[in-house]
Structure 1
Amino acid sequence: MFRTFGQNIPALSVGANVPAVSVAESSEAIEATIELPGVEEKDIKINLDGNRLVISGEKKEESTKDEKDWHVEERSYGSFYRAMALPFTPEDGAVEAHLDKGVLHVVVKKPTALAQKTKTIEIKTGAPPKA
C-alpha cells in the first residue's frame, strides 16, 4: 500500500514540490507526518477522494528587499502535492489534521469493522480433553 504513495509524481528533489512524508500504521489508524516548513495552515488543502488521501498546497515566496546582493538562496517555493491510496474508505469524521511548527500530522481512523482487536487466549494446564 505504501509503495504507491506518491506514485506518478515526477522525480523531483524533496522541496516545495514533494514534501517529505512518514507514514505509520496501527491497529486503529494510519498516521502521516508531512514536513511543511514555512507553509501556513490556510495554504494547505487535505481532501478525501473515495479511498485516496490528497494533501496539496502552496508555499508562498517571501518578499525580499533589493538592497541585498544575494549570492545563494536555497529556499524553495511553489505548490506541492502528495496522494496516498488507503486500503479502506474512511468514514465521515475519521480524518484529523494538526499543523505544529511546520509539521502536518494527519490521522485517518480505520473503520470499526477493520480495526484489529487483540485477544488474549487463556492457557490451561494439563492435557487437552479427548475429542
Structure 2
Amino acid sequence: MSETDNEIEIRMDVPGIQSEEIEVEVTGNTLLITGERKDEKEEKGRTYHRIERTSGSFSRSMTLSCEVDSDQVEAQCDNDGLMALFPNPI
C-alpha cells in the first residue's frame, strides 16, 4: 500500500486468479480483498506425478488511514496482479 497527496494505491500478487474470481470491497476505512483459486482439471490420458498449485479461497483485510467512498474505488486484475486505486481525501 502506498499513497500520494491525490490517491491511495494497493497492489497484491494474485497469480493464477482471473478478475472475475476476485472482489474488492471498502466499508468506511476497511478494505477487504477476497477471491478463490479454482482446482485445475486433470486431463484424461495424462499421468500426474506432482501437483503443487494450491486451490481454495483467500481474503486479506487492511485498515486504511481514512474513510473511502466505495463508489470511487477503481480495481483491475491482470498478469501483474491486483491494483486498487482510490482518492486520498487528506
For normalisation by structure 1, the TM-score amounts to 0.62
Does the 8 Å CA contact 2:4/2:88 hold for their aligned counterparts? Answer: no
CA deviation after TM superposition for structure 1 residue 73, in Å: 1.2
Q: What is the aligned partner in structure 2 of residue 67 from structure 1?
A: 45
Q: What is the aligned partner in structure 2 of residue 88 from structure 1?
A: 66
Equivalent residue for 2:4, pick from 26, 36, 49:
26
CA distance in structure 1 between the partners assigned to 2:22 and 2:58 by the alignment: 9
User: Which protein has the bigger strand share?
Assistant: 2
Question: Once the two structures are aligned, what percentage of the paired residues are identical?
Answer: 32
CA distance in structure 1 between the partners assigned to 2:87 and 2:44 by the alignment: 49
Q: Which has the larger radius of gyration?
A: 1
Q: How does 1:35-114 map to 2 (within 5 A)?
A: 35-101=13-79, 103-111=81-89, 114=90
Moved segments of 4+, more than 6 Å: none
Q: How many residues align?
A: 90
CA deviation after TM superposition for structure 1 residue 69, in Å: 2.5
Does the 8 Å CA contact 1:38/1:102 hold for their aligned counterparts? Answer: no
Mark the runs of 5 or more structure 2 residues left unpaired by the alignment.
none
**RCO greater where, 1 or 2, for CA within 8 Å and sep 6 or more?**
2
